[in-house]
Amino acid sequence: MESSSKNTSAMGSRNVILEIDSLKKYFATQKLFARSRKSVKAVDNVTFHVYENETYSLVGETGCGKSTLGRTILQLVPPTSGRIIYRGEDVTNAKFMMRTLRKDMQMIFQDPYSALNPRMTIGQILEEPMKIYKLFDSAQARRKKCLEMLEKVGMQANHYYRYPHEFSGGQRQRIVIARALILEPKVIVCDEPVSALDVSIQSQILNLLTEIKHDVGITYIFISHDMSVVRYVSDRIGVMYLGHIVEEAPADDLFKTPYHPYTQALLSAVPVIEPNARKERIVLKGEMPSPINPPSGCPFHNRCPNTTDICSRQFPIRKENDSDHYVYCHHA
């Protein structure tokens, strides 16, 4: 498998900062003495790459594995197999490098209410990573950096001594963002960063994330189930279903011409405000199968309106339909 640091496709000479190769994450179910040990195939053979300074989104519904994929990329859960290649180097099993790597890859979490330690002040929360990495020699220097960060995310200096429970959801999320930025990472995985926030706060946080990206130059891996938000923030999008990426394309292309039947169904189900933009809804039969017992062949075949015999026997190979627009389907 190539581990190119430059990708010379129609994108021009953009750097690939992160490459995910055949990544799998299976969770063992607890039955130690069962005859057959079944696994939850949360992430099943996922391959994609992310360019520097882009926003790559992972979308899908509950159970598709996008959150697990985000955590596996950061090695918060150890991958079952596959490779993670950061800036051309295989870092999958680089335990001794992990500490340095962690500085470069951070995470923003979904629930601002449990993402901050309730027993620590904001100042302590923000200074903790600096202490772990022994950045800055003096407490004063750390505090200065801390106050800088607070200002950058739109909070005030006097919030330094407060506790998380004194803040609203939107403010807490800003603190979560500040914490992620403190180590000056190159890649940030955003796990549903605005899903738990009020609608009017979402736009504030999304704008903040965009501002930071342009200011500092960060690559985002943006995980969400909200298609409208994803369309607005992303450069490229990967649609996930049952642990697999089923379609991958630049944002506008995906919305204009979705090839995979699941993507089409997903887009048609989004409730839109403009009456003219409403598409005919594609109703999928059944429900998403359990990742313990995924269907054979194409994972989507038992709910797909276009399914044929080959779909239940063989996993589809990756096809490039348009430039940089890939789909995993026998018939698309």
Partner 1 sequence: MSENQNVLLKIDDLQTTFNTVRGSITAINGVSFKVRKGEVLGLVGESGCGKSVTAQSIMRLYDEKKLVSYKGSIQFDGKNILKLTPEEMEKLRGSEIAMVFQDSLSSLDPLFTVGDQIAETLISHKKIDRKQAWKRALKLLELTGIPAPEQRIKAYPHELSGGMRQRVMIAMALSCDPKLLIADEPTTALDVTIQAQIMDLIVDLNHSLGMSVILITHDLGVVATVCQRVIIMYLGEVVEEGLVSDIFNNPLHPYTKGLIKSIPTFATPKNEPLYMIRGSVPVLNEVKTGCRFCNRCEQARDQCKIETPVPVQVNGTQTVRCWNYKNKQILHKRG
Partner 2 sequence: MNGNTSHEVASLDKAGIREHRRIMLKSFLRNKLALTGLIILMALTLLAIFAPSITPVDPYEMEVANRLQPPSREHIFGTDAFGRDVFTRTIYGLRISLTVGILTALFTMVAGMIIGLLAAYFDFLDNVLMRLTEAMMSIPTTLLAIALMTLLGATTGNVVLSMAIVSTPGVARLARSTALSVKQALYIEAVKSQGASWARILFKHIAPNILSPIIVQTTFIFATAIITEASLSFIGVGVPPPIPSLGNILYEGKAVIYDSWWMVTFPGIFMILSVLAINILGDGIRDLLDPLSNR
CA distance 287 to 273: 26
Q: Does 162 bind partner 2 (CB under 8 A)?
A: yes
Within 47-76, the residues that bind partner 1 by CB under 8 A are: 61-62
* H runs (alpha helix) in 56-153: 66-73, 95-104, 122-132, 139-152
If the CB atoms of residues 95 and 286 are measured against partner 1, the closer one turns out to be 286
Q: Spell out the residues 6+ positions from residue 110 whose beta carbon is closer than 8 angstroms to its own.
A: 191, 192, 193, 195, 196
Within 130-149, the residues that bind partner 2 by CB under 8 A are: 132-133, 140, 143, 147-148
Q: Does 117 bind partner 2 (CB under 8 A)?
A: yes
Which residues are bridge partners to 14 per DSSP? Answer: 7
Q: Does 29 bind partner 2 (CB under 8 A)?
A: no
Which partner from the list partner 1, partner 2, none does 10 bind, CB cut-off 5 to 8 Å by kind?
none
Task: Tell me which stretch binds partner 2 (CB under 8 A): 53-61, 158-166, 253-261, 322-330.
Answer: 158-166
Q: Among 38, 83, 87, 103, indicate the residue that binds partner 2 (CB under 8 A).
A: 103
- CA dihedral (194, 195, 196, 200) positive or negative: positive
CA distance 329 to 332: 6
Q: How far is CA 300 from CA 40, 163, 191, 240, 244, in A?
A: 17, 46, 24, 11, 10
Q: Does 234 bind partner 2 (CB under 8 A)?
A: no
Which partner from the list partner 1, partner 2, none does 159 bind, CB cut-off 5 to 8 Å by kind?
partner 2
HSE-up (13 A, CA, CB side) for residue 7: 19
Q: Spell out the residues 6+ positions from residue 126 whose beta carbon is closer than 8 angstroms to its own.
A: 146, 149, 150, 175, 178, 179, 182
- The pattern of x and - marking residues 202 through 231 that bind partner 1 according to CB under 8 A reads xxx-xx--xx-------------x-xxx-x
Which partner from the list partner 2, partner 1, none does 93 bind, CB cut-off 5 to 8 Å by kind?
none
Is residue 208 within 8 Å of residue 264, measured between CB atoms?
Answer: no
If the CB atoms of residues 124 and 302 are measured against partner 1, the closer one turns out to be 302
Q: State how far Cα 8 lies from the chain centre.
A: 24
If the CB atoms of residues 64 and 180 are measured against partner 1, the closer one turns out to be 64
Which partner from the list partner 1, partner 2, none does 302 bind, CB cut-off 5 to 8 Å by kind?
none
Which partner from the list partner 1, partner 2, none does 274 bind, CB cut-off 5 to 8 Å by kind?
partner 1
**Burial readout 273-291 (b: 16 or more C-beta within 10 A, e: otherwise):** eeeeeeeeeeebeeebeeb
Which partner from the list partner 2, partner 1, none does 76 bind, CB cut-off 5 to 8 Å by kind?
partner 2
If the CB atoms of residues 126 and 254 are measured against partner 2, the closer one turns out to be 126
Which residues are bridge partners to 190 per DSSP? Answer: 108, 222
CA distance 199 to 308: 42
CA distance 326 to 237: 10
Q: Spell out the residues 6+ positions from residue 277 whose beta carbon is closer than 8 angstroms to its own.
A: none
Q: Among 4, 81, 93, 114, indicate the residue that binds partner 2 (CB under 8 A).
A: 114
Which partner from the list partner 1, partner 2, none does 184 bind, CB cut-off 5 to 8 Å by kind?
none
Tell me the closest approach of the beta carbon of residue 15 to partner 1, in angstroms.
Answer: 22
Q: Which residues bind partner 1 (CB under 8 A)?
A: 61-62, 168-171, 198-204, 206-207, 210-211, 225, 227-229, 231-232, 251, 255, 265-266, 269-275, 277-278, 281, 283-284, 286-287
Residues at the site binding partner 2, with contacts judged by CB under 8 A: 71, 74, 76, 98-99, 102-103, 105-107, 109-111, 114-120, 125, 128-129, 132-133, 140, 143, 147-148, 151, 157-163, 166, 176, 179, 183
